[in-house]
């Protein structure tokens, strides 16, 4: 293990945990290392990630990374099937970004996606607010695709077929981009194959609205 990898473990057991906390005891910015390690464990070891994040929240105070930590907390909860807790964590991330607008995450897209997947009708309006609050954060084709894609699906659920169709068309155009607008990062942030299910939904939405 490289000297700087002690807080990026992809696996977790009693030996790894003991080594991590031994290293942590000598570190200055303990909260930051807790957050980073939790990020690497959120999917494979969600319970361990949640425990680390609880320590992060205890130590971090007004950390600029708190919104990011809530995002990883939501990811861990989702892996455990605890949807309500994940929604609460994403709401906390969004609220933290309102208080510290320089600390931006992708909580807006994760929140909209989860609300739609779980068909939380009572939260559609709230998800639209989160999207609008982050409209200026769109920097890459993937951001434009997700922003307009989720906006289209929510609009469709709310019965606004015109807005749904318009947003879906914008999202699908963004999905066709092969390069980002940044000169030295041409392949960064383009829409990958993993988003094909959302593209299928958007094409279907347009087709149904025109029939």
3-state secondary structure 96-140: HHHHCCCCCCCHHHHHHHHHHHCCCHHHHHHHHHHHHHCHHHCCC
Element (H, E) at 88: helix 83-99
CATH number of the structural domain 1-105: 1.25.40
pLDDT at residue 94, rounded to an integer? 97
This prediction's pTM: 0.92
pLDDT in tens, 129-186: 999 999 999 989 999 999 999 999 999 999 999 999 999 999 999 999 988 776 666 6
CATH 1.25.40 maps onto the chain at 1-105
């Amino acid at each position: 293990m490289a000297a700087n990898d002690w807080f990026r473990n992809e696996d977790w057991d009693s030996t790894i945990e003991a080594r991590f906390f031994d290293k942590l005891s000598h570190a200055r910015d303990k909260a930051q290392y807790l957050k980073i390690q939790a990020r690497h464990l959120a999917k494979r070891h969600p319970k361990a990630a949640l425990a680390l994040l609880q320590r992060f929240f205890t130590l971090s105070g007004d950390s600029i990374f708190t919104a990011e930590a809530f995002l990883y907390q939501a990811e861990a909860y989702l892996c455990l099937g605890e949807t309500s807790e994940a929604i609460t964590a994403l709401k906390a991330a969004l609220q933290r970004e309102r208080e510290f607008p320089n600390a931006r995450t992708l909580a807006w897209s994760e929140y909209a996606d989860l609300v739609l997947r779980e068909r939380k009708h009572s939260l559609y309006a709230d998800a639209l607010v989160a999207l609008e609050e982050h409209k200026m954060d769109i920097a890459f084709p993937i951001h434009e695709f997700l922003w307009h894609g989720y906006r289209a699906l929510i609009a469709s659920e709310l019965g606004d077929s015109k807005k749904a169709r318009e947003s879906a068309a914008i999202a699908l155009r963004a999905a066709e981009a092969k390069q980002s607008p940044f000169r030295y990062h041409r392949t960064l942030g383009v829409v990958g194959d993993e988003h094909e299910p959302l593209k299928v939904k958007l094409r279907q939405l347009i087709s149904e609205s025109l029939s």
